[in-house]
Amino acid sequence: MIATVDTATILGARGHPVTVEVHIARGLPGFTMLGLPDESCREARDRVRAAVLSSGFSWPDKKITVNLAPPHHRKTGSGLDVAIAVGVLVACEVIPADAVRGLGFAGELGLDGSIRGVPGVAPMVGVRPESDWVVPAASVAEARAAARGVVRPVERLAQLVEALNGCVAWPESVDAPSEFVEPELHDLADVKGQPLARLALEVAAAGGHHLLFVGPPGAGKTMLARRLPGLLPDLASDLALQTTMVHSAAGVTLPAGGLLTRPPFRSPHHTSSLGSVVGGGSHQLRPGEISLAHGGVLFLDEMGQFSPKVLDGLREALEDGQVMVGRVEQLRVAMPARFQLIGATNPCPCGGSGPSSDCSCDERSRQRYTQRMSGPLLDRFDLRVAVSRPNVADLLDGEPGESTAEVAARVHHARAAALARSGGLNADLDEHGLNEFAPLDRDAERCIRDEMERGRLTGRGYHRIRRVARTLADLGGGVDRAIEERDVVAALTMRARVGSGITGAAA
């Protein structure tokens, strides 16, 4: 007899539909699995057999052939266990074939017949959102975040068979306790002094601009960067679902409600490999840090210590909002990676602040250090701000600055104005959008022309200065006015040259 059961598998951060076909016939007893299963998937034959026997059902002494269709991409993980077991029991006529029509199944089987959660339930369900789904009880919340049909939680294979046969009612779902820890939002009022760096952080939040802090240790670069998420609004519903899918596929713990509503903040260590940051894997494609930061912030602390290959691997994502990852045995997979990049780096290996300070590095060492960050990558930062150590008076006796709540109110107003005006944030404006939504008045145009004629600003830098100036005007209450000279001057101030020292406007 032949049985057909619907399920799904994970490729990168997306689910792909899979149909499990089970054929049982006379012949030498055995279990053959077709359809490009990986090693963990092939091990399902032993898990399924033990779970079926432990649940009180007999195992057929016949030739069992399982096909995982379609055959053109590799099936990974243990999430197909339940679908395979159900297919075997349908083929053995333990479960009626009509009972599994319109149902999707996901979950790993324990040898005792228990059904365990697996990474990626949300994207697995999301690929067949109209179907009803049977999922492990521990995965109900994330399944419901992606499902439009009914989600059926089960804890054991025997319980599932009884429900499919109509012997018992489907079990009620119980909200399982979540180990998700809500990230702490640090208050910007803790930062004393640093008026330019605080303004740059506000501009970055309001316009979606990438931001690089350059300065010696103890200047407050990390402290400032960690306060950016508190300035950002909650994720829009479609973006929240996309971000949840990525985190589910990576096996990251999700909130009790199953849906991520706050922008994620990811901060990989500077020793991280290219695969862990960009995504991939030798056998199973997994989202990297840039995909886990989708919809939120990627913070690279000690950016000058990262491998140049890792840093250059960010360029595609910064340009396209996604990264294409491929392996010889698998399809090329597009993973979402639209994030806001915040970098922090020392100006040289010793952490000094330039030739005129207590820096002990020679010119060659400083150049070699900053050259780890390529020119094309640095050019993608709209904001490059020099941060010096705070004054003693500001640090010990200074009054607290504006709180996160006060700054966030201005940020939300500016973002709302940009979205209403152009449908996106100012950092996303193309040349046509700049001409339409970011016109320059006469003095502002003259100021930029002077910078370009002196060779201190390239064509690409010109566009980035206009985007930042548009955000500065929005924050100043001029959402409907043209960009003025003061906006351009402030934008130029926050585009420092990164090299052997920190100097004026950069290309």
Residue 427 clears pLDDT 60, i.e. is over it: yes
Angle 278-80-56 from CA coordinates, rounded to 5°: 150
The confidence score (pLDDT) of residue 399 equals 74
174 within a domain of the structure (yes/no): no
Mean pLDDT of 327-346: 82
246 within a domain of the structure (yes/no): yes
Per the CB < 8 A criterion, the answer to whether 263 and 296 are in contact is: yes
pTM value > 0.95:
no
Q: In this structure, what token pair is assigned to residue 327?
A: 């392996």
Confidence of residue 355 (pLDDT cuts 50, 70, 90): very low
Q: In this structure, what token pair is assigned to residue 171?
A: 């079990």
183 within a domain of the structure (yes/no): no
235: three-class secondary structure by DSSP: coil
Q: In this structure, what token pair is assigned to residue 330?
A: 């698998």
Per the CB < 8 A criterion, the answer to whether 174 and 137 are in contact is: yes
Same-domain pairing of 248 and 159: no
| Percent of the chain at pLDDT exceeding 90 | 54
Q: In this structure, what token pair is assigned to residue 115?
A: 């059904």
Same-domain pairing of 112 and 246: no
Backbone angles phi, psi at 305, to 5 degrees: -95, -10
CA-CA distance, 44 to 35, in Å (whole number)? Answer: 14
Confidence of residue 503 (pLDDT cuts 50, 70, 90): very low
Same-domain pairing of 193 and 117: no
2: three-class secondary structure by DSSP: strand
CA-CA distance, 100 to 93, in Å (whole number)? Answer: 12
179 within a domain of the structure (yes/no): no
302 within a domain of the structure (yes/no): yes
The domain boundary, picked from 132, 164, 196, lies at 164
Integer angstrom CA distances of residue 394 from 191, 400, 464, 499:
10, 9, 32, 28
Same-domain pairing of 426 and 288: yes
Same-domain pairing of 193 and 86: no
The confidence score (pLDDT) of residue 283 equals 67
Residue 330 clears pLDDT 90, i.e. is over it: no
Same-domain pairing of 260 and 393: yes
Same-domain pairing of 12 and 132: yes
The confidence score (pLDDT) of residue 110 equals 94
Environment class of residue 223 by beta-carbon count within 10 Å: exposed (0-12), middle (13-18) or buried (19+)?
Answer: middle
Q: What residues form DSSP beta bridges with 299?
A: 342
- The per-residue pLDDT of the chain, averaged, comes to 87
**CATH number for the domain including 99?**
3.30.230.10
Residue 434 belongs to what domain range?
188-505
178 within a domain of the structure (yes/no): no
More confident residue, 344 or 73: 344
The confidence score (pLDDT) of residue 356 equals 46
CA-CA distance, 492 to 496, in Å (whole number)? Answer: 8
Amino acid at 447: C
Mean pLDDT of 462-486: 92
Residue 501 clears pLDDT 70, i.e. is over it: no
Q: How is 106-132 classified by DSSP, letter by letter?
A: --EEPTTSBEE--TTHHHHHHTSTTSE
Which alpha helices (H) appear in 147-301, and where do they start and end? 157-164, 195-207, 221-225, 237-249, 274-278, 289-292
175 within a domain of the structure (yes/no): no
The confidence score (pLDDT) of residue 395 equals 72
Same-domain pairing of 488 and 366: yes
**CATH number for the domain including 321?**
3.40.50.300
The confidence score (pLDDT) of residue 500 equals 42
Residue 308 clears pLDDT 70, i.e. is over it: yes
The confidence score (pLDDT) of residue 181 equals 64
Q: What is the pLDDT of residues 184-202, one digit of tens each?
A: 778 898 888 888 999 999 9
Q: Are strands 340-345 and 211-214 parallel, antiparallel or unpaired?
A: parallel
Same-domain pairing of 344 and 451: yes
Same-domain pairing of 101 and 246: no
Same-domain pairing of 431 and 283: yes
Q: What is the pLDDT of residues 139-184, one digit of tens each?
A: 898 898 888 889 999 999 999 999 999 889 888 766 656 666 677 7
Q: Are strands 383-386 and 30-34 parallel, antiparallel or unpaired?
A: unpaired
Mean pLDDT of 114-138: 91
Residue 350 clears pLDDT 80, i.e. is over it: no
Count how many residues are written for the chain. 507
Q: What is the pLDDT of residues 82-106, one digit of tens each?
A: 999 999 999 999 999 999 999 999 9
Mean pLDDT of 254-279: 90
Same-domain pairing of 118 and 205: no
Radius of gyration for the alpha carbons in the chain, expressed in angstroms and rounded: 28
Backbone angles phi, psi at 197, to 5 degrees: -65, -40
333 within a domain of the structure (yes/no): yes
The confidence score (pLDDT) of residue 506 equals 46
Q: What is the pLDDT of residues 430-457, one digit of tens each?
A: 989 999 999 999 999 999 999 888 888 7
Structural domains counted in the chain: 2
CA-CA distance, 471 to 205, in Å (whole number)? Answer: 10
The confidence score (pLDDT) of residue 502 equals 45
